[in-house]
Amino acid sequence: MGNVNKKLMSMISLEGKVAIVTGAASGIGLATAKLLSDAGARMVLIDINEAGGVEVAEGINSSGGKAKFFLCDVTSDSDCKSITKAIYEEFGKIDILFNNAGVIRRKNVLDLEEEEWDLIIDVNLKSIYLLSRQVIPIMIKGKGGSIINTGSGWGIKGGPDAVAYCAAKGGVVNMTRAMAIDHGKQGIRVNCVCPGDIDTPLLRGEAEQLGVDEAEFMKEAADRPLNRVGEPLDVAKTVLYLASDLSSWVTGVSLIVDGGGIA
């Protein structure tokens, strides 16, 4: 039994790996950063929320992990270039990239302003392109890596009053497939995690955007086969699977993590 456990732990371990998490100051990013650190990875945390990001890094370091926060606007090409250069100079490699930064506006196409459309597409979709194009050459030098993109259940099917978000996340799902095809021969796996409703500040903020009672909104969000709203850790565990050797022959996949919401 001991040998089985050692083999299992070696497959799930991220010891010696360097992992980037965007949107790391809260929600899914925060939970994932902590879990990947627990698995042994050295963590690089990226967010536009400097105070929150620094706090997460300090928490990981005080718990015995290793984490460093970098202030970065992932919609800025120059920011992505300079941050990736700084990360490579400090750590010498990048093994895992979790493209997780996201934003939502609950509006239909008639009510959505052009600048809101641009913001949602840029943060949720364009940022993956901007950061991946800097990180992939480093992964190629290191003979491989794992990229995980945050999609959504609404990247698989449509949803009400979220037209730009649905468009962006649908793009993430198919972009993931294309990246997996392009870079598999270089040893880089590219996958997508598609959460349903997860109890994060982003989800609770939707209630305010829609002008509805938050408690009632969260109650409706729990109406799914597993009868609860997801927790950030539910998604983080899936990211750990996709980042580790447990998924060594998995690429181009969009894994739905939604308690059965779109079953």
Q: Name the residues annotated as catalytic.
A: 165
| CB-based contacts of 21, cutoff 8 Å, min separation 6 | 29, 32, 33, 36, 43, 44, 45, 46, 98, 100
- Reference 127, options 102, 144, 148; nearest CA is 102
Task: Say how many C-beta atoms besides its own lie within 10 A of residue 152's C-beta.
Answer: 29
160, 166, 170, 172 alpha-carbon torsion, rounded to 10°: -150
Radius of gyration of the chain (CA): 18
**Residue environment code for 100-136, b if the CB has 16+ CB neighbours within 10 A, otherwise e:** bbbbbbbbeeeebeeeebeebbbbbbbbbebbbebbb
- Reference 194, options 150, 239, 164, 163; nearest CA is 150
Helices and strands (DSSP H and E) totals, the chain: 10, 7
- Reference 137, options 191, 175, 178, 81; nearest CA is 81
